[in-house]
Structure 1
Amino acid sequence: MKIEPQHVVSLTYNLYVDQDGTENLVEKTTEEQPLTFLFGAGQMLPRFEENLSTLSTGDAFDFRLPAGDAYGEYDDEAVANLPKEMFAGQDMPEVGSILPLQDNQGNRFQGQVVSVVEDAVIVDLNHPMAGQELHFTGNILNVRPATPEELSHGHAHGPDGHHHH
């Protein structure tokens, strides 16, 4: 079956990013635990879906997304100084740790601690893969029409369309 909006796609993929001239595998799914998503529902990177839009069950894929089409270019400005008072009563976060944060609009996001100075914790708010070209390879395992329930929820309920309890 061909991939179309309102269809649920199950696929395996390997994601490589270039680190110092070598391609490193950073994420991987298996046939036992594929990536399953409702195509066209806006859950995936738009250019990721665009690259899959001509494929059908059983097809293999291999494509690259430049940083601008993936998680954006690295933004040197996207660094926040969090006052140490924010962490009163808890352990100071360590450099390299990921902090769950929330902005004034209630949007949740993550920041990575880059340094801890006298009165502040300095956090990099860029996506961990910002500024990187993503290289995807994989196979389309299954394509099926979404169930009415999946369409009303706006996401897939697993490879076979049923809830997992």
Structure 2
Amino acid sequence: MKITANKYVAVTYDLNVGEGEERELMEKATAEVPLKFIFGTGMMLPAFEDALKGLEVGDTFNFSIAPADAYGEYVEEHVLDLPKNIFEVDGKFDSEMIKEGNTVPMMDSNGNRMNGSVLEVKEDIIVMDFNHPLAGETLHFSGTVLDVHEPSEEEVAAMTAPAGGCNCGCDDCGSDCGDKDHNSCGCGGCH
């Protein structure tokens, strides 16, 4: 069976970023924990799906996605200095959550959810980066198609239910799909 609209798909992949010999492994979906999704339902980046369309179980793939077709270019204006006091809980700064390297779920003044990465903690300012972690990166995927079939009602329900997770088909990922072991990259709905 070929990968076409509304088919259940499971794939392994290695995701590398960078150019030439400077590529770095960012994420891996294994046979034990594959990336699972319903093709053509908006769960994945369109360019990711375009590259897989028509493949069958056992087929391998190796393709790249430019930043414009992935998570966009890196935008310096998305790096902001925020007042430290907005990170206080009950009048106390949340130093456990707000530390360099952490990704923090936030909301803008219009109620839109977004993730920000803490770049620096200063005395009165927190420097936050609201670019996607892979903004500006060319994504290089290589992997194998493990499964293609008509999804059961249970599979559709599990992958489209808005409960707790990221809706990207990665089992047991909870609410933090930014973790490298949870197939966050191809998923358009995680970030």
> One fold, TM greater than 0.5?
yes
| In the alignment, structure 1 residue 81 sits paired with structure 2 residue 64 | no
Equivalent residue in structure 1 for 2:120, among 86, 95, 115: 115
- In structure 1, what is the Cα distance between the partners aligned to 2:170 and 2:106? 29
Shift of 1:148: 3.2
Written as runs of structure 1 = structure 2, the 5 A alignment for 1:88-127 is: 88=88, 89-92=92-95, 93-127=98-132
Structure with greater Cα Rg? 1
Contact 2:60 / 2:142 at 8 angstroms: preserved in 1? yes
Identity of aligned residues (%): 43
Larger relative helix fraction: 2
- In structure 2, what is the Cα distance between the partners aligned to 1:91 and 1:77? 25
- In structure 1, what is the Cα distance between the partners aligned to 2:143 and 2:37? 15
Contact 2:2 / 2:55 at 8 angstroms: preserved in 1? yes
TM-score by length of 2: 0.75
Larger relative strand fraction: 1
Partner SS for 1:123: strand
TM-score by length of 1: 0.85
The aligned counterpart of 2:44 is 44
Written as runs of structure 1 = structure 2, the 5 A alignment for 1:1-165 is: 1-18=1-18, 21-88=21-88, 89-92=92-95, 93-151=98-156, 155=160
- In structure 1, what is the Cα distance between the partners aligned to 2:21 and 2:170? 36
- In structure 2, what is the Cα distance between the partners aligned to 1:20 and 1:114? 27
Contact 1:6 / 1:151 at 8 angstroms: preserved in 2? no
Contact 1:8 / 1:146 at 8 angstroms: preserved in 2? yes
Partner SS for 2:76: coil
CA RMSD of aligned residues (A): 2.3
Shift of 1:157: 6.9
Q: Which runs of 5+ in 1 are unaligned?
A: 160-165
The aligned counterpart of 1:162 is none
More displaced stretch, 70-79 vs 109-118: 109-118
The count of residues paired between Structure 1 and Structure 2 equals: 159
- In structure 1, what is the Cα distance between the partners aligned to 2:144 and 2:122? 47
The aligned counterpart of 2:187 is none
Partner SS for 1:16: strand
